[in-house]
Structure 1
Amino acid sequence: MNENPDTPGEDEAREVGVGPWEGPWPRGGHYDPALLADGDRRNVVDRYRYWRREAIVADLDTVRHPFHVAVENWSHDFNIGSVVRTANAFGCAAVHIVGRRRWNRRGAMVTDRYQHVHHHPGTGALVAWAAERGLPLIGVDNLPGAVPLETYPLPREAVLVFGQEGPGLSEEVRSVCRAVLSIAQFGSTRSINAGAAAAIAMHAWVRAHVFDQELQETVTPPGVS
């Protein structure tokens, strides 16, 4: 029995997702017959209910933003799963794992199925990949001499690079970044974890290149630049 009236009991908890499709099935190659028959309990927005995974990825590829995120992974950083999940939420083009190939997927909450994730064995490989595409590397770490993220004009196309929990950005990565940005903090802790830092930095990019652009389009009359 649930003794706390303010806490829903197990049988009262909201069920995630939707059950089997009711009525005639919708038409379209993007629908998954198994999901239509059995229900869709996945961690996806309502727009993608009953869609095949491949169809969801293809649709996301048409609207992903042109920024990438890279994370150093030299000792199996448990924050990487959280970074991948956040990257998916913010429409990141891709996540790049630098160092060890294996990473803890638990924190990704299965979002890695819909998010492009690439592996680079070392910093040099990431640098070469970014150089081929003209993408600057922007490090994020609270280091002496770092520029405040809050005032830095983030490039529209770039790779936001994060170090692993504890040591932060490696010296090798710092040396190849166009800039290293710090996140304003006001408490006693020396730093926040990589997952939180990545979320803040990605949201800063969204504010700069999605909301500011929408605002400009709203206040600027047609034909005026």
Structure 2
Amino acid sequence: MGPTEWTAREEVGVGPWSGEWPADDRYDPDLLAGGDRRNVMDAYRYWRREAIVADVDRRRHPFHVAIENFQHDHNIGTVVRTANAFAAAAVHIVGRRRWNRRGAMVTDRYQHLEHHPDVASLAKFATERGLSIVAVDNTPGAQPVETAVLPRECVLLFGQEGPGLSEEAQASASFVVSIAQFGTTRSINAGVAAGIVMHTWIRHHADLSSAW
């Protein structure tokens, strides 16, 4: 018969499975019995986390996202959540390993994450895999992302809120892109900037017929 919706407005997700359980090992018996309140697409309701990750892996996009984390930037959670929404290959944390996961809204469970102690380590990773590093910062000489052509296989590299990209990060990049601004602020939130550039990649390269 399929899932039953919660009747209480404050509940999120679906209640226990109604009727005969599906004979499919992608489904989690605990979720079928107790309901699924997770922040996942309806197509993944009641699925085991490993099954969801495996399904997304079949259609992940060949762009990676990297963000510097030398001052415990609180935007990393938002970057991870957006990367998950666009099915990025992986998110790379450069610098400190620990970061505030609250903004990720549990999407980090379904998104591949990698850590690099410094920019040199990230650059080595990119070189070994034939990935171009595209740095994002409003610096002199940067190409407007609105007109730039982003490589299909690349690492989109973002700096921290405030100081922006480090000199090492800019030096590691094949080129730098900027985001057009028209107001008074010197820069925009790093999480917002990441979303804009990731969506630019989607517009250039993604098969939109495969979107939810």
TM-score, scaled to structure 1: 0.88
Q: Give the corresponding residue for 1:172.
A: 168
Equivalent runs, 1:4-83 vs 2, <5 Å? 13=9, 15-83=11-79
RMSD of aligned Cα (Å): 1.3
Q: Give the corresponding residue for 1:159.
A: 155
Percent identity of equivalent pairs? 68
| Partner residue of 2:135 out of 132, 139, 162 | 139
Larger radius of gyration: 1
1:11-43 Cα distance to aligned partner (Å, 9 max, x none)? 974532100000000111100000000000000
Structure 2 counterpart of 1:80, one-letter code: I
Q: Give the corresponding residue for 1:220.
A: none
| SS, match of residue 83 in structure 2 | helix
How many residue pairs were aligned?
A: 203
Q: Give the corresponding residue for 1:108.
A: 104
Question: Gapped runs of 5+ residues in structure 1?
Answer: 1-10, 215-225
Structure 2 counterpart of 1:90, one-letter code: F
Moved over 2 A (4+): 11-15
| Partner residue of 1:209 out of 200, 205, 208 | 205
Q: Give the corresponding residue for 2:85.
A: 89
1:92-133 Cα distance to aligned partner (Å, 9 max, x none)? 000000000000000000000000000000011001011000
Structure 1 counterpart of 2:65, one-letter code: V
Structure 1 counterpart of 2:30, one-letter code: A
2:52 and 2:206 map into 1 onto residues whose CA distance is: 22
Q: Say whether the 8 Å CA contact 2:61–2:206 is kept in structure 1.
A: no
| SS, match of residue 54 in structure 1 | helix
1:197 and 1:25 map into 2 onto residues whose CA distance is: 44
1:41 and 1:13 map into 2 onto residues whose CA distance is: 13
2:35 and 2:107 map into 1 onto residues whose CA distance is: 19
2:73 and 2:178 map into 1 onto residues whose CA distance is: 20
| SS, match of residue 150 in structure 1 | coil
| Partner residue of 2:186 out of 185, 190, 198 | 190
Structure 2 counterpart of 1:141, one-letter code: D
Pair 1:187–1:48, CA change in 2 (3 A) = same
What displacement does 1:55 show?
A: 0.4
| SS, match of residue 126 in structure 2 | helix
Q: Say whether the 8 Å CA contact 2:133–2:175 is kept in structure 1.
A: yes
Structure 1 counterpart of 2:89, one-letter code: A
Question: Gapped runs of 5+ residues in structure 2?
Answer: 1-6
Structure 2 counterpart of 1:147, one-letter code: Q
